[in-house]
Structures are given as C-alpha cells and as structure tokens.
Amino acid sequence: MALACAVLGLPAVAGAQVTPAAGYTPPDDTPAIRVGMTLFTDYTVQQSPKIKDADANDVTFSAFNVGRSYINITGNISHNIAFRITPDIVRETGTNALNGSYAFRVKYAYAQFNLDDWLNQGRTGSWIRLGAQQTPYVDFMEGIYRYRFQGTIFEERDGFLSSSDVGASFHYNFAGNYGDVHTGIYNGETYSKPEANDQKGFMIRATVRPLRMHPVLRGLRLTGFYDNDAYVKNAERRRGIAGITFEHKYLNASFDYFVASDQTSVTKPTVDARGFSVWATPRAPNGWEGLLRYDQLEPNTDASGKRKRFIGGVAYWFPHQGTVSTALLLDLDQTRFVDFAVGQPTQRRYGVHALVNF
C-alpha cells in the first residue's frame, strides 16, 4: 500500500497493514506453563565411625533418605519474559517442634527477561534474572558434573558456596560458541537465610571455549570465578576459583583450584583456605558410567590439617528422550582428616542413590 501510494503521489494510509518479509517467522508469544519434578533418594550405610544407640551399643548407622524433592514450575509470559518457581521439600534439622519432619521451602523463584532480541542477533541465552536463583559457578559446574544426587560439588559441600541466592544477575553468550559470562549481585546469605545487614555479594563467572572448532577439544573450557562479599562491614568473605572442564560423549572431567578468605568480624583474624577438586566420569554407550572424584581442602593455611575426600562409584543411566533423566548409583564416599591438631576418625559411607528428573 505504501509503495503504491508513493508511486501515485498519494499520502500513505494511516494504520495500513504491513505484510511481514518473506521467510520471517514472528516469535511465539503464547503464554505457557510447565510442571516438572526432581527426586534424589538413597540408602546409605556409615561404616565408620560407629555410633551409639539409645542403649549405648556400638552400631553401624544406616538410613533411607530423601535428599531432594523439587516441584519445578516454569513458563513464559511472552518470548521475552519467563519465570521459575521451585519449592524444595527437605528434612527439618532445627530444634523446633518440627525437627525431623519434612518441611516446604522455596529454592528458586525468579523472573527472567530475555535479551536475545537486542544482544544476540539470532543466538539465545542472554538474560537478566531477578529473585531467588542459581548462583553462577555451582549451576555451571553441576551442568557438567551431573552427580549432585550423590553429593554437592567440592566448594558447596565444604560450605564455601551455595547453589541458590536472592539477587539480580546477568548472563551473556559470546558469539561463535566461544563461551559465556554470568555475573550478579546477591544478598550473600544463601536462599535458606534472610538478609542480615547492608552487605551484598558480587559474583562473576567467565568461561571460554578456546578450540570450539576442533572435533574433540571443542569440549574443553577454561573458567574463572570470583565472589566478593562481607559478613559485616569491613569483614571480608571472598572466594576465587580457576578451573578447566572437558566434555565428550565418552568422558566428562574437571579440575579446579579454590581459595577463600573469611573474617567473620573486624575483631577476629582472617582465615585463609585453599583446596582443589578433580573428577572424571567415563561412560559407555550402553548407559553405564563411572564416577571418580578426589577433593582436598586446607581449612586454615596458617594451621596444620587437610581434609581428603575420595568418591568412587558405578552408575547406570536409563535411556530416555529429551531432558528426562533417571539413574542409579552405587558408591563409596570416604573422608580422611590428616595432620589436624585434634584427631578425627575417618568417615566412610556406602550408598545406593537414585535420581529421577522430569
């Protein structure tokens, strides 16, 4: 219409319909909501140390456990606005009347504003999130490790990082599949505690894929992570990680080196910690997979003592379509305490773990 008016020398008609260019597919802005679930359950036998029962007998502790039971509610308002709400049902371990019961709490609850229309020129994966959400490093590593149903990654298991916190974050995918960056400002108290003061945590993870075109080494990625926070004003809480990961259809593997500085109050000295974690998960085409992991931590570099953890196991991943996953794992989890001023017994557990994710 506008072209015809221009040729005839007539004014364009206001509100005239414009036909989309050939080959253009408009984005789907239909609101949608989806419901899924995640379940971790296990049977674990603690061979060492022994415990005493109510009659003071030395016994080998064993228990059936539910480590995680999520209801994942995800969806989108439009192609630019998405959301996630994930309640977590966990055992209450406090001293109140519910001690030992399973309690309902929120693990994730955020709105996501997709930026692909403006930043990525056809690529996906750039967004801003607001609310209770995944933290940059733990979420990245668990996407490669896959064995959170056995236990959390090194930095989270030893209490230095959390998988979720409340804040605002930004994620950007580099062009050409060269890597990504994820950064944000968080309360710093994790999702399980309310904010206690005016201090906020700044986190950033940057990952590069240096050989993206190589048929095998394109699975190699280099990652740096930094967390700058404070317990109270002028009392630092900092973490740094340098790591390398590798992904292949027959093997996932990782090595990361970790440092931390903690000063819980300006009246107390700073405690520096350091450690590393290395793991590999070789797999066969028929669903069988091995798990080999070794963690080592010096909780205080100014004092003697190292925690050395070994995890070994065999898993079977059942065949499924899409992102559905089900697995069984038989494992040994052992932690030794070496050269501490106060001796501690070796912790040794055997377990059968199950994962269902839908």
Q: Which residue has the tokens 């996501």?
A: 112
Three-state DSSP at 196 gives coil
Percent of the chain scoring above 90 in pLDDT: 77
Q: 49 in a domain, yes or no?
A: yes
Residue 145 lies in a domain: yes
- What's the pLDDT band for 68 if we cut at 50, 70, 90? confident
Q: Per-residue pLDDT tens for 102-146?
A: 777 889 999 999 998 888 666 788 999 999 999 999 999 999 999
Is the Cβ–Cβ distance between 40 and 354 less than 8 Å? yes
Q: Where are the beta strands (DSSP E) in the chain?
A: 32-52, 58-78, 81-91, 102-114, 127-134, 164-173, 179-186, 201-208, 220-232, 235-248, 251-262, 271-282, 288-298, 306-317, 325-338, 347-357
Confidence category of residue 23, pLDDT binned at 50, 70, 90: low
Give the model's confidence band at 5: pLDDT under 50 very low, under 70 low, under 90 confident, else very high. Answer: very low
Decide if 184 contacts 168 (C-beta within 8 A): yes
Alpha-carbon gap, residue 243 to 129, rounded angstroms: 25
**Of the candidates 347, 326, 271, 277, the residue with the CA atom closest to the CA atom of residue 303:** 271
pLDDT of residue 98: 63
Averaged confidence pLDDT in the chain: 90
27 domain residue, yes or no: no
Cα–Cα distance, 351 to 316 (Å, whole number): 14
Query: Which residue type is seen at 256?
Result: D
User: Would you say residue 290 lies in a domain?
Assistant: yes
What is the pLDDT at residue 175? 86
Q: Which of 67-71, 135-139, 196-200 has the highest mean pLDDT?
A: 135-139
Q: Which of 290, 293, 236, 296 is nearest to 261 (CA)?
A: 236
Is 316 within a domain? yes
Once rounded to an integer, what is the mean pLDDT over residues 72-97? 86
The token pair at 72 is: 């994942």
Q: Which of 58-62, 82-86, 96-100, 152-156 has the lowest mean pLDDT?
A: 96-100
| 139 three-state secondary structure | helix
Please state the pTM of the whole predicted model.
0.88
More confident residue, 16 or 199: 199
* Structural domains counted in the chain: 1
**Residue 88, pLDDT score:** 86
Distance (Å, whole) CA 20 – CA 205: 40
Q: Give the confidence band of 95 by pLDDT, cuts at 50, 70, 90.
A: low
**Do 325 and 357 contact (CB within 8 A), yes or no?**
yes
**Quick check: 4 pLDDT over 70?**
no
Per-residue pLDDT averaged across 203-213, rounded? 96
Domain span including residue 126 = 37-357
9 is a domain residue? no
**In this predicted structure, what is the pLDDT of residue 19?**
54
Query: Residue 118 domain-assigned?
Result: yes
Buried b (16+ CB within 10 A) or exposed e, 272-303: bbbbbbbbebebeeeeebebebebbbbbeeee
pLDDT at 212 over 50: yes
pLDDT computed for residue 7 by the predictor:
38
Q: What percent of the chain has pLDDT over 70?
A: 91
pLDDT in tens, 256-291: 999 999 999 999 999 999 999 999 999 999 999 999
d(CA 24, CA 17): 16
Inside any domain, residue 1: no
Q: Is 250 exposed, middle or buried (0-12, 13-18, 19+ CB in 10 A)?
A: exposed
Q: How does DSSP assign 239-283, residue by residue?
A: EEEEEEEEEETTEEEEEEEEEEEE-SSTTS--EEEEEEEEEEEEB
The DSSP secondary-structure symbol of 128 reads: E
The whole-angstrom separation of Cα 127 and Cα 168 is 11
Residues 210-231, mean pLDDT to the nearest whole number = 95
Query: Alpha carbon of 158 to those of 95, 220, 297, 318: distances in Å?
Result: 23, 26, 8, 30
Rounded CA separation 210/223 (Å)? 11
Within 13 Å of residue 229, how many CA atoms lie on the same side as its CB?
28
Which residue in 288, 358, 353 sits closest to 148, CA to CA? 353
Higher pLDDT, 176 or 151: 151
For residue 79, what are the CA distances in angstroms to 30, 146, 175? 8, 28, 21
What's the CATH code of the domain at 334?
Answer: 2.40.160.10
Q: What is the DSSP letter of 144?
A: H
pLDDT of residue 236: 94
